[in-house]
Amino acid sequence: YQKVIEKNQAVIEEQAKAFGSLSKDVSDIKQKIMGNGDEK
């Protein structure tokens, strides 16, 4: 039972990392889109 909890914790941490990098990419893309809009 303890091993299952630890495994779930590891999965959650990896998902959190993936989500963090994903949201960073999204904000970068938004900045690029906004920047291009300002240039026009």
In the numeric block, which tokens belong to residue 20?
A: 């963090």
Residue 19: phi, psi to the nearest 5? Answer: -65, -40
> At 1, is the secondary structure helix, strand, or coil?
coil
pLDDT given for residue 37 in this prediction: 57
pLDDT in tens, 1-40: 789 989 999 998 999 888 888 888 888 988 888 776 555 4
Please, where are the H alpha helices in the chain? Answer: 2-39
